[in-house]
Amino acid sequence: GENVEQHPSTLSVQEGDSAVIKCTYSDSASNYFPWYKQELGKGPQLIIDIRSNVGEKKDQRIAVTLNKTAKHFSLHITETQPEDSAVYFCAAIRTGTASKLTFGTGTRLQVTL
């Protein structure tokens, strides 16, 4: 089955700096990679996703890159703000089947003033 590894487990940045979270996956057939943000005591919310036929996707201050050859994908947050503080999860799945989303172990991002 799919295995997703996520690093780092914790990340502290100063407000205005950039943050990068990296994930690797094992199943070369995986073709959809969502990123979720989870605030304390709440359920995860999808913030951005990328398909395997795209190398990069941006949405304002958030971007995701995908390297299919190396089987890794990354989340980039620029100009970080205190409200970006949360736990971020990456995930991978091969769509169109009964496959299940496989999640990384999460990264706790702390944006300090």
Burial class from Cβ neighbours inside 10 Å (0-12, 13-18, 19+) for residue 113 reads exposed
Asked if 112 is part of the footprint of other proteins (rule: CB under 8 A), the reply reads: no
Looking at 13, 27, 32, 57, which residue binds other proteins (CB under 8 A)? 32
What gap in Å lies between CA 13 and CA 32, rounded to an integer? Answer: 28
Work out whether 106 is an interface residue with other proteins (CB under 8 A).
yes
- The smaller minimum CB distance to other proteins, of residues 81 and 105, is found at 105
Q: Enumerate binding residues for other proteins (CB under 8 A).
A: 4, 6, 9, 32, 34, 36, 41-46, 49, 51, 89, 93, 95-96, 98-101, 103-106
